[in-house]
Amino acid sequence: MKITETKLKSCLILEPQIFEDNRGVFFEVFKIKELSDFLGYKVDFVQENKSISKKGVLRGLHFQKGESAQAKLVSAQNGSVVDVIVDIRPDSLTFGEHIKVHLSDINNKSIFIPKGMAHGFLALTDQVVFNYLCDDYYNPKEESGILYNDPALAIDWNYPLSELIVSEKDLLLPTFKKLMQ
């Protein structure tokens, strides 16, 4: 497994070594020991989530607050997405910055998202099966998010905005500035 750091501290891209032969393909998605050794602390995933989305669905930008903050390992099990992570850690050198990573069932990359990050993705193919491993349980009282098209974040989703499918709940999320007040 190849682990690559991004400009957002502790936000990592994991790329498996893929073994292919006449039977098909095999790869290890991640090894908890390698991930924990790289981070310098142990990660314990306690919940697995899966979402299925059609093309144009944008989910996010979501996170859990306070003691319910979650680190996540995310991947596209089927299909292709543009994945966006925003650093919302006030003491971070990259506070308010974001990265975009293409995840698909072709490149088989995963992203480790540490606590203190908002996360969202846009489905680029007809059907996307997206997988999340979380290190804490979902707490609806601590869920929050940031508006996906906040001008201050200037996220270019590289997709016609008129064709996006966004939940009513996500359309009502606050801007980054309002959230951080």
Identify the active-site residue in 41, 62, 98, 148: 62
119 an active-site residue?
Answer: no
CA Rg value for the chain: 16
CA 30 – CA 38 distance, rounded (Å):
12
Among 98, 119, 132, 148, the active-site one is 132
Of the candidates 38, 31, 48, the one whose C-alpha atom is nearest the C-alpha of residue 11 is: 38
Q: Which of 46, 63, 59, 50 is CA-nearest to residue 134?
A: 46
Q: Catalytic positions, please?
A: 62, 132
